[in-house]
A and B are shown apart, each in its own frame.
Chain A
Amino acid sequence: MENKVASVIRASEIEEKHQISFRDALEDIAAFNAKVDKILTEDLNSVQLFEGILIENPFNVISDRGTNA
Chain B
Amino acid sequence: MVNEEEYHSKPGEGSHKKRQSYCVEERNLIKPAFKRFFETDHNEEECYELSKRKVINILNKGYHLGGKIICSREELMNGRVFLDTNILVYAHDLDAGMKHRVALKIVKDIWDKKTGVVSTQVLQEFYMTVTKKIGNPILPSKRGELSGLMHAGKLWKIRWRLLSGHLK
A binding-site residues for B, Cβ under 8 Å: 1-3, 14, 17, 23, 26-27, 30-31, 34-43, 48-54, 58-59, 62
Contact = CB atoms under 8 A, between A and B. Distances in A.
Interface of B: 1-3, 6-7, 46, 49-50, 52-54, 56-57, 77-84, 86-87, 90, 98-99, 102-103, 106, 117-122, 155
Given A2-B120, A52-B49, A58-B106, A35 B78 contact: yes
B123 to A, nearest CB: 10
A9 B50 CA distance: 26
22 contacts: A2-B119, A3-B120, A14-B6, A17-B3, A17-B6, A23-B121, A27-B119, A30-B82, A34-B82, A34-B155, A35-B78, A36-B80, A38-B81, A43-B86, A51-B2, A51-B53, A52-B52, A52-B53, A53-B53, A53-B82, A58-B87, A58-B102
A1 B2 CA distance: 23
B83 to A, nearest CB: 5
Contacts, number: 99
Contacts of B81: 36-40
Given A51-B53, A62-B102, 5 more contacts: A1-B155, A27-B119, A39-B82, A41-B86, A50-B2
Given A2-B119, A17-B6, A35 B1 contact: no
Contact of A30 (B56, B77, B87, B121): B121
